[in-house]
Amino acid sequence: IYILGIESSCDDTAAAVLHNASILSNVVATQEVHQKYGGVVPELASRAHQQNIVPVIDQAIKEAGITKDQISAIAFTRGPGLMGSLLVGTSFAKSMAMALQIPLIEVNHMQAHILAHFIDDASERKPNFPFLGLTISGGHTQIVKVEDYFKMSVIGETLDDAVGEAYDKCGKMLGLPYPGGPLIDKYAHEGNPKAFAFTKPKVDGLNFSFSGLKTAVLYFLQREEKKNPHFIEENLKDICASFQHTVVNILLDKLKKAVNETKIKEIAIGGGVSANKGIRAMLKEQEQKRNWIAHIPKFEYTTDNAAMIAIVGHYKFLQKDFTDSSISAKARYSI
Protein backbone atom coordinates (compact mmCIF):
# COMPACT_ATOMS: atom_id res chain seq x y z
CA ILE A 1 0.00 0.00 0.00
CA TYR A 2 1.35 3.39 -1.00
CA ILE A 3 -0.26 6.35 0.77
CA LEU A 4 0.36 9.98 -0.14
CA GLY A 5 -0.18 12.19 2.92
CA ILE A 6 -0.87 15.92 2.67
CA GLU A 7 -0.71 18.32 5.64
CA SER A 8 -1.59 22.03 5.50
CA SER A 9 -3.33 22.82 8.79
CA CYS A 10 -1.18 25.71 9.95
CA ASP A 11 2.02 27.20 8.54
CA ASP A 12 3.84 24.14 7.21
CA THR A 13 3.08 22.68 3.80
CA ALA A 14 3.98 19.01 3.93
CA ALA A 15 3.70 15.87 1.82
CA ALA A 16 4.94 12.34 2.46
CA VAL A 17 4.76 8.92 0.88
CA LEU A 18 4.47 5.83 3.02
CA HIS A 19 4.87 2.23 1.83
CA ASN A 20 2.87 0.32 4.42
CA ALA A 21 4.30 1.72 7.65
CA SER A 22 7.67 2.65 6.24
CA ILE A 23 8.63 6.11 5.13
CA LEU A 24 9.70 6.68 1.54
CA SER A 25 9.69 10.48 1.66
CA ASN A 26 8.76 13.21 4.12
CA VAL A 27 8.91 16.76 2.75
CA VAL A 28 8.12 19.91 4.74
CA ALA A 29 8.18 23.49 3.48
CA THR A 30 8.26 25.78 6.50
CA GLN A 31 6.85 29.23 5.87
CA GLU A 32 9.30 31.95 6.78
CA VAL A 33 6.94 34.88 6.12
CA HIS A 34 5.42 34.75 9.61
CA GLN A 35 8.64 35.37 11.50
CA LYS A 36 8.60 39.12 11.11
CA TYR A 37 5.03 39.28 12.45
CA GLY A 38 5.85 37.23 15.54
CA GLY A 39 3.11 34.70 14.82
CA VAL A 40 1.20 32.97 12.05
CA VAL A 41 -0.80 35.32 9.80
CA PRO A 42 -3.65 33.16 8.46
CA GLU A 43 -4.07 34.99 5.15
CA LEU A 44 -0.34 34.74 4.37
CA ALA A 45 -0.28 31.09 5.44
CA SER A 46 -3.05 30.23 3.01
CA ARG A 47 -1.31 32.02 0.17
CA ALA A 48 2.01 30.33 0.90
CA HIS A 49 0.32 26.92 0.95
CA GLN A 50 -1.05 27.63 -2.52
CA GLN A 51 2.46 28.39 -3.75
CA ASN A 52 4.09 25.43 -2.01
CA ILE A 53 1.64 22.60 -2.39
CA VAL A 54 2.44 21.52 -5.96
CA PRO A 55 6.25 21.55 -5.62
CA VAL A 56 6.10 19.87 -2.19
CA ILE A 57 3.89 17.02 -3.43
CA ASP A 58 5.98 16.64 -6.59
CA GLN A 59 9.12 16.38 -4.50
CA ALA A 60 7.58 13.84 -2.11
CA ILE A 61 6.56 11.56 -4.98
CA LYS A 62 9.93 11.99 -6.69
CA GLU A 63 11.93 11.27 -3.54
CA ALA A 64 9.78 8.21 -2.86
CA GLY A 65 10.91 6.82 -6.20
CA ILE A 66 7.39 5.96 -7.31
CA THR A 67 5.06 7.22 -10.02
CA LYS A 68 1.68 8.83 -9.41
CA ASP A 69 -0.24 5.80 -10.59
CA GLN A 70 1.32 3.60 -7.90
CA ILE A 71 -0.37 5.64 -5.16
CA SER A 72 -3.13 3.61 -3.47
CA ALA A 73 -4.91 6.49 -1.72
CA ILE A 74 -4.53 10.12 -0.69
CA ALA A 75 -4.80 11.10 2.98
CA PHE A 76 -5.18 14.76 3.94
CA THR A 77 -5.63 16.82 7.09
CA ARG A 78 -9.28 17.79 7.40
CA GLY A 79 -8.80 19.64 10.69
CA PRO A 80 -8.35 21.09 13.25
CA GLY A 81 -6.45 24.12 12.03
CA LEU A 82 -6.74 27.41 10.18
CA MET A 83 -9.62 27.30 7.71
CA GLY A 84 -7.75 29.07 4.90
CA SER A 85 -4.82 26.70 5.30
CA LEU A 86 -6.91 23.54 5.56
CA LEU A 87 -8.85 24.46 2.43
CA VAL A 88 -5.71 24.38 0.28
CA GLY A 89 -4.77 20.82 1.28
CA THR A 90 -8.35 19.61 1.25
CA SER A 91 -9.18 20.87 -2.22
CA PHE A 92 -5.88 19.70 -3.63
CA ALA A 93 -6.31 16.21 -2.15
CA LYS A 94 -9.86 16.00 -3.47
CA SER A 95 -8.96 16.94 -7.02
CA MET A 96 -5.87 14.75 -7.12
CA ALA A 97 -7.80 11.70 -5.85
CA MET A 98 -10.47 12.39 -8.42
CA ALA A 99 -7.98 12.76 -11.25
CA LEU A 100 -6.14 9.55 -10.30
CA GLN A 101 -9.41 7.78 -9.48
CA ILE A 102 -8.15 6.53 -6.13
CA PRO A 103 -9.70 6.63 -2.63
CA LEU A 104 -9.63 9.78 -0.52
CA ILE A 105 -9.06 9.60 3.25
CA GLU A 106 -9.71 12.40 5.76
CA VAL A 107 -7.43 12.66 8.80
CA ASN A 108 -7.76 14.37 12.17
CA HIS A 109 -4.49 16.24 12.79
CA MET A 110 -4.48 15.54 16.55
CA GLN A 111 -5.04 11.81 16.04
CA ALA A 112 -2.15 11.94 13.62
CA HIS A 113 0.18 13.52 16.21
CA ILE A 114 -0.52 10.41 18.34
CA LEU A 115 -0.53 7.73 15.65
CA ALA A 116 2.80 9.05 14.29
CA HIS A 117 4.31 6.55 16.71
CA PHE A 118 3.24 3.73 14.41
CA ILE A 119 5.52 4.84 11.59
CA ASP A 120 8.23 2.16 11.41
CA ASP A 121 11.19 4.34 12.33
CA ALA A 122 9.32 6.70 14.69
CA SER A 123 10.97 5.35 17.83
CA GLU A 124 12.63 2.26 19.28
CA ARG A 125 9.38 0.41 19.90
CA LYS A 126 5.71 0.87 19.14
CA PRO A 127 3.13 1.66 21.83
CA ASN A 128 0.82 -1.13 22.99
CA PHE A 129 -2.88 -0.44 23.50
CA PRO A 130 -4.11 0.96 25.79
CA PHE A 131 -1.69 3.82 26.23
CA LEU A 132 -1.86 7.48 27.19
CA GLY A 133 -1.13 10.07 24.53
CA LEU A 134 0.19 13.41 25.70
CA THR A 135 -0.29 15.79 22.81
CA ILE A 136 1.48 19.05 23.33
CA SER A 137 1.55 21.47 20.44
CA GLY A 138 0.97 25.02 19.28
CA GLY A 139 -2.79 24.76 19.56
CA HIS A 140 -3.44 21.84 21.92
CA THR A 141 -2.51 20.28 25.23
CA GLN A 142 -4.31 17.02 25.80
CA ILE A 143 -4.07 13.73 27.64
CA VAL A 144 -5.71 11.11 25.49
CA LYS A 145 -6.64 7.59 26.45
CA VAL A 146 -5.87 5.53 23.37
CA GLU A 147 -7.58 2.14 23.33
CA ASP A 148 -7.15 1.39 19.66
CA TYR A 149 -6.11 3.22 16.48
CA PHE A 150 -9.44 4.98 16.24
CA LYS A 151 -10.79 4.50 19.71
CA MET A 152 -9.43 7.41 21.70
CA SER A 153 -10.86 9.90 24.14
CA VAL A 154 -9.58 13.12 25.64
CA ILE A 155 -9.39 12.74 29.43
CA GLY A 156 -7.72 16.08 30.14
CA GLU A 157 -6.97 19.26 28.23
CA THR A 158 -6.05 22.89 28.60
CA LEU A 159 -8.74 25.30 29.66
CA ASP A 160 -6.92 28.23 28.03
CA ASP A 161 -3.53 28.42 26.28
CA ALA A 162 -1.71 25.45 24.81
CA VAL A 163 1.83 24.66 26.01
CA GLY A 164 3.36 25.67 22.68
CA GLU A 165 1.47 28.94 22.84
CA ALA A 166 2.85 29.59 26.33
CA TYR A 167 6.35 28.93 25.02
CA ASP A 168 5.89 31.22 22.05
CA LYS A 169 4.34 34.04 24.07
CA CYS A 170 7.06 33.78 26.67
CA GLY A 171 9.60 33.84 23.84
CA LYS A 172 8.03 37.04 22.57
CA MET A 173 8.29 38.67 26.01
CA LEU A 174 11.95 37.71 26.06
CA GLY A 175 12.48 39.30 22.66
CA LEU A 176 13.13 35.98 20.90
CA PRO A 177 12.09 35.40 17.28
CA TYR A 178 8.96 33.34 16.52
CA PRO A 179 8.52 30.52 17.35
CA GLY A 180 10.13 30.91 20.75
CA GLY A 181 9.67 27.28 21.83
CA PRO A 182 12.82 25.73 20.34
CA LEU A 183 14.98 28.68 21.46
CA ILE A 184 13.71 28.66 25.04
CA ASP A 185 14.46 24.93 25.09
CA LYS A 186 18.00 25.58 23.86
CA TYR A 187 18.73 28.33 26.42
CA ALA A 188 17.02 26.38 29.20
CA HIS A 189 19.67 23.74 28.79
CA GLU A 190 22.38 26.24 29.70
CA GLY A 191 20.59 27.93 32.61
CA ASN A 192 19.67 27.24 36.22
CA PRO A 193 16.12 25.83 36.53
CA LYS A 194 15.92 26.89 40.17
CA ALA A 195 16.99 30.51 39.59
CA PHE A 196 13.44 31.88 39.63
CA ALA A 197 10.22 30.38 40.93
CA PHE A 198 6.97 30.61 39.01
CA THR A 199 3.88 29.28 40.72
CA LYS A 200 2.10 26.36 39.16
CA PRO A 201 -1.60 26.91 38.40
CA LYS A 202 -4.11 24.97 40.45
CA VAL A 203 -6.45 23.16 38.11
CA ASP A 204 -8.67 20.28 39.15
CA GLY A 205 -8.56 16.84 37.60
CA LEU A 206 -6.55 16.21 34.48
CA ASN A 207 -7.04 19.61 32.89
CA PHE A 208 -4.33 22.19 32.34
CA SER A 209 -4.03 25.96 32.41
CA PHE A 210 -1.11 27.91 31.00
CA SER A 211 -2.39 31.46 30.77
CA GLY A 212 -1.63 32.13 34.43
CA LEU A 213 1.98 31.09 33.97
CA LYS A 214 2.28 33.41 30.99
CA THR A 215 0.95 36.33 33.05
CA ALA A 216 3.23 35.43 35.96
CA VAL A 217 6.24 35.58 33.65
CA LEU A 218 5.06 38.89 32.19
CA TYR A 219 4.65 40.58 35.59
CA PHE A 220 7.91 39.13 36.82
CA LEU A 221 9.81 40.51 33.81
CA GLN A 222 8.15 43.93 34.06
CA ARG A 223 9.03 44.17 37.73
CA GLU A 224 12.64 43.13 37.28
CA GLU A 225 13.20 45.28 34.20
CA LYS A 226 12.07 48.31 36.18
CA LYS A 227 14.88 47.67 38.64
CA ASN A 228 17.40 46.65 36.00
CA PRO A 229 16.73 47.46 32.33
CA HIS A 230 19.19 44.73 31.28
CA PHE A 231 17.56 42.06 33.42
CA ILE A 232 16.41 39.92 30.50
CA GLU A 233 19.68 39.87 28.59
CA GLU A 234 21.68 39.24 31.75
CA ASN A 235 19.43 36.41 32.93
CA LEU A 236 18.03 34.97 29.70
CA LYS A 237 19.26 31.42 30.23
CA ASP A 238 18.10 31.26 33.84
CA ILE A 239 14.67 32.65 32.96
CA CYS A 240 14.28 30.08 30.18
CA ALA A 241 15.45 27.25 32.45
CA SER A 242 13.08 28.29 35.24
CA PHE A 243 10.13 28.63 32.87
CA GLN A 244 10.83 25.23 31.33
CA HIS A 245 11.24 23.67 34.76
CA THR A 246 7.76 24.91 35.70
CA VAL A 247 6.20 23.61 32.48
CA VAL A 248 7.83 20.21 32.86
CA ASN A 249 6.53 19.96 36.42
CA ILE A 250 2.99 20.88 35.40
CA LEU A 251 3.02 18.17 32.74
CA LEU A 252 4.55 15.62 35.10
CA ASP A 253 1.95 16.31 37.82
CA LYS A 254 -0.92 15.67 35.44
CA LEU A 255 0.70 12.60 33.93
CA LYS A 256 1.15 11.10 37.40
CA LYS A 257 -2.50 11.75 38.08
CA ALA A 258 -3.58 10.24 34.76
CA VAL A 259 -1.46 7.12 35.32
CA ASN A 260 -2.99 6.77 38.79
CA GLU A 261 -6.53 7.11 37.54
CA THR A 262 -6.27 4.92 34.46
CA LYS A 263 -3.64 2.47 35.70
CA ILE A 264 -2.02 2.85 32.29
CA LYS A 265 1.74 3.31 32.51
CA GLU A 266 2.54 3.51 28.84
CA ILE A 267 2.84 7.07 27.59
CA ALA A 268 3.39 8.40 24.08
CA ILE A 269 4.12 12.08 23.53
CA GLY A 270 3.34 13.93 20.33
CA GLY A 271 3.02 17.40 18.83
CA GLY A 272 5.60 20.12 18.30
CA VAL A 273 6.42 20.63 21.97
CA SER A 274 7.34 16.94 22.31
CA ALA A 275 10.59 17.92 20.60
CA ASN A 276 11.46 19.59 23.90
CA LYS A 277 14.61 18.23 25.52
CA GLY A 278 13.43 18.94 29.08
CA ILE A 279 10.17 17.06 28.59
CA ARG A 280 11.97 14.15 26.94
CA ALA A 281 14.46 13.94 29.80
CA MET A 282 11.66 14.04 32.37
CA LEU A 283 9.93 11.07 30.70
CA LYS A 284 13.17 9.09 30.50
CA GLU A 285 13.65 9.71 34.20
CA GLN A 286 10.15 8.46 35.01
CA GLU A 287 10.85 5.22 33.16
CA GLN A 288 13.51 4.51 35.79
CA LYS A 289 11.66 6.01 38.71
CA ARG A 290 8.10 4.79 38.16
CA ASN A 291 8.41 2.00 35.63
CA TRP A 292 6.58 4.00 33.01
CA ILE A 293 7.09 3.07 29.40
CA ALA A 294 7.73 6.27 27.50
CA HIS A 295 7.46 6.59 23.74
CA ILE A 296 9.38 9.53 22.39
CA PRO A 297 9.15 10.13 18.65
CA LYS A 298 11.98 11.18 16.36
CA PHE A 299 12.18 14.95 15.93
CA GLU A 300 10.86 14.97 12.38
CA TYR A 301 7.61 13.35 13.57
CA THR A 302 6.96 15.85 16.37
CA THR A 303 6.26 19.17 14.63
CA ASP A 304 3.80 19.19 11.77
CA ASN A 305 4.60 16.68 9.06
CA ALA A 306 2.70 14.66 6.47
CA ALA A 307 4.16 11.28 7.42
CA MET A 308 1.84 11.24 10.42
CA ILE A 309 -1.11 12.00 8.13
CA ALA A 310 -0.06 9.18 5.82
CA ILE A 311 0.20 6.61 8.65
CA VAL A 312 -3.36 7.40 9.73
CA GLY A 313 -4.28 7.06 6.05
CA HIS A 314 -2.65 3.64 6.04
CA TYR A 315 -4.76 2.34 8.93
CA LYS A 316 -7.93 3.84 7.51
CA PHE A 317 -7.10 2.27 4.15
CA LEU A 318 -6.93 -1.15 5.82
CA GLN A 319 -10.44 -0.52 7.20
CA LYS A 320 -11.63 0.88 3.86
CA ASP A 321 -12.59 4.03 5.71
CA PHE A 322 -12.79 6.33 2.70
CA THR A 323 -14.55 9.61 2.14
CA ASP A 324 -16.15 11.14 -0.93
CA SER A 325 -15.38 14.41 -2.60
CA SER A 326 -18.27 16.25 -0.91
CA ILE A 327 -16.16 16.41 2.27
CA SER A 328 -15.18 19.83 3.61
CA ALA A 329 -12.42 21.11 5.91
CA LYS A 330 -13.19 21.48 9.61
CA ALA A 331 -11.37 24.17 11.60
CA ARG A 332 -12.60 22.78 14.91
CA TYR A 333 -12.42 19.03 14.87
CA SER A 334 -12.12 17.04 18.07
CA ILE A 335 -10.47 13.63 18.28
- Tell me the three state secondary structure of residue 107: strand
Q: Which of 4, 53, 96, 275 binds ligand ATP (CB under 6 A)?
A: 275
- How many secondary structure helices (H) and strands (E) does the chain include? 9, 10
> Is 136 labelled as part of a ligand binding site?
yes
Choose among ligand ATP, Fe ion, none what residue 276 binds, the Cβ cut-off being 5 to 8 Å by kind: ligand ATP
Query: Quick one: 110 or 213, whose CB is closer to Fe ion?
Result: 110
Quick count: other Cβ atoms within 10 Å of Cβ 221? 17
Does residue 273 interact with ligand ATP by CB under 6 A?
yes
Query: Quick one: 90 or 137, whose CB is closer to ligand ATP?
Result: 137
Q: Which of 31, 85, 123, 137 binds Fe ion (CB under 5 A)?
A: 137
* Sheet with strand 2-7: strands edge to edge: 22-30, 12-19, 2-7, 73-79, 104-108
Return the residue nearest ligand ATP (CB atom). 272
Question: From CA 3, how far away is CA 112, in angstroms rounded?
Answer: 14
Cα–Cα distances in angstroms (integers) from residue 315 to residues 7, 148, 261, in the given order: 17, 11, 29
Quick count: other Cβ atoms within 10 Å of Cβ 101? 7
CB-based contact 49:85 (threshold 8 Å): yes
Question: From CA 278, how far away is CA 248, in angstroms rounded?
Answer: 7
> Is 161 labelled as part of a ligand binding site?
no
Question: From CA 311, how far away is CA 223, in angstroms rounded?
Answer: 48
> Is 139 labelled as part of a ligand binding site?
yes
Q: Which of 19, 49, 109, 254 binds ligand ATP (CB under 6 A)?
A: 109
Does residue 140 interact with ligand ATP by CB under 6 A?
yes
Site string (151-170) toward ligand ATP, x via CB under 6 A? -------------x--xx--
**CA-derived radius of gyration, the chain:** 20
Question: What are the DSSP calls for 183-252, one per residue?
Answer: HHHHHHTTS-TTSS--PPP---TT-B--HHHHHHHHHHHHHHHHH-TTHHHHHHHHHHHHHHHHHHHHHH
Query: Quick one: 134 or 273, whose CB is closer to ligand ATP?
Result: 273
Query: Quick one: 286 or 303, whose CB is closer to ligand ATP?
Result: 303
Please list, in sequence order, all residues whose beta carbon lies within 8 angstroms of the beta carbon of residue 320, skipping any fewer than 6 positions away.
none
Query: Quick one: 46 or 137, whose CB is closer to Fe ion?
Result: 137
- Tell me the three state secondary structure of residue 102: coil
Query: Quick one: 165 or 238, whose CB is closer to Fe ion?
Result: 165
> Is 160 labelled as part of a ligand binding site?
no
Q: Which of 276, 286, 309, 313 binds ligand ATP (CB under 6 A)?
A: 276
133: phi then psi, degrees, rounded to nearest 5: -100, 130
Query: Quick one: 66 or 154, whose CB is closer to ligand ATP?
Result: 154
From 179-187, 209-217, 230-238, 312-320, span contacting ligand ATP (CB under 6 A)? 179-187
- Measuring CA to CA, which residue among 107, 125, 108, 119 is closest to residue 267? 125
Q: Which of 182, 221, 252, 331 binds ligand ATP (CB under 6 A)?
A: 182
In whole angstroms, the minimum distance from the beta carbon of 113 to ligand ATP comes to: 6
**Residues within the interface to ligand ATP (CB under 6 A):** 9-10, 80-81, 109, 113, 137-140, 164, 167-168, 179, 181-182, 185, 271-273, 275-276, 303-304
Binding site for Fe ion (CB under 5 A): 137, 304
Report the binding-site residues: 109, 113, 135-139, 168, 181, 185, 276, 304
* Residues in binding site for Fe cation: 109, 113, 304
